[in-house]
Amino acid sequence: MKNNLFYFIQLNHSFGLAIFALNVLFLIELNASAIPESALVPLKTEMDSLLNTKKSSTSKRRIYKNVIRKSQALIKSSPKAVNRFAVHGLILKAQNGLLRMDNFKRNQEAFYETCEALMESTDAYVGLRLNAEFLLSERDLTAKDADASERIMALIKIVKGYRGTDAELKSLISAISRTPRLNALELREELIKSVAQRFSSDPVAIAFLRKLSGSS
C-alpha cells in the first residue's frame, strides 16, 4: 500500500512538472512569435503620412510620439518576437523625426538607446544594424572630439565589418558619402573601386556610380 501511494505521489509530481514545463515552453514560444503585421501597418501608415502631406509641427510631434509609444508597447508585450528589430527600426525613424524637432537630452538618450538595441539585431536586419552603428560611431567620435584620421579609421572598420553581408553595398555607399568632409580622397577612390568590382551587375550600384560620374 505504501509503495502504491509513493508511486502515485511520484506520478503526480512528474505530471505536474511536465505541465509546468509545457507552460514555460508555451510562454517562450508566445514571446518569440512575430508581432502581427496588422499591428504595424497603422504605425507605418502614420509615418508615411508625414512624407505625403504638409502637417503642422504639432501634428508631426503627435504622430512621432504616438508611433514611438505604441511601438514600444508592442515590444514590451513580445520582448522576444522574431521581428522586434523591425519595430525598433520604426521607433528609431520616429525618434529621429522627433529629435529634429526637439533636440532635448531625453530625446537624444532615447534615440541612442534604440540604436544600442538594434546592435543586437540578427542578420535579417543587418541594414538596420548598419544604420545604428554609423549613428553610434558618430556620437562616440564627436564625444571624444576625434580628428579626421580617427574618423577615417572608424569608417574603414565599419565597412570591413559588413563585407560579405546583405548590407555591404549600403555600407560602401554610406562610407563614400562621408569621405568628402573628411578629405579622404584616397579612401573614396578605393571604396568606389570596391563598389564597381563587387557589385558590377547590381542596379543600385550602377545607378550610384553613374550619379557619381555625372551621367544619367
Residue-level pLDDT at 5: 47
Rounded Cα–Cα distance for residues 216 and 199 (Å)? 18
- Give the sign of the dihedral formed by CA 179, CA 182, CA 185, CA 186: negative
Rounded Cα–Cα distance for residues 206 and 214 (Å)? 12
- Cell numbers found for residue 141: 567620435
Residue-level pLDDT at 19: 54
Residue-level pLDDT at 4: 56
pLDDT in tens, 37-50: 999 999 999 999 98
Residue-level pLDDT at 31: 47
Question: pTM of the full predicted structure?
Answer: 0.82
Residues 6+ apart with CB under 8 A from 142: none
Rounded Cα–Cα distance for residues 71 and 84 (Å)? 9
Residue-level pLDDT at 121: 96
Say if CB 89 and CB 47 are below 8 A apart: no
Query: Where does the pLDDT of residue 29 fall: very low under 50, low under 70, confident under 90, or very high at 90 and above?
Result: very low
* Count of beta carbons in the 10 Å neighbourhood of residue 126: 18
* DSSP designation for 125: G
Residue-level pLDDT at 33: 85
Rounded Cα–Cα distance for residues 89 and 115 (Å)? 9
* Count of beta carbons in the 10 Å neighbourhood of residue 62: 13
- Tell me the domain boundaries of the chain: 36-120, 146-216
Percent of the chain with pLDDT strictly greater than 70: 84
Give, in degrees to the nearest 5, the angle at Cα 16 between 10 and 18: 105
Higher pLDDT, 216 or 135: 135
pLDDT in tens, 155-214: 999 999 999 999 999 999 999 999 999 999 999 999 999 999 999 999 999 999 999 988
Rounded Cα–Cα distance for residues 60 and 99 (Å)? 12
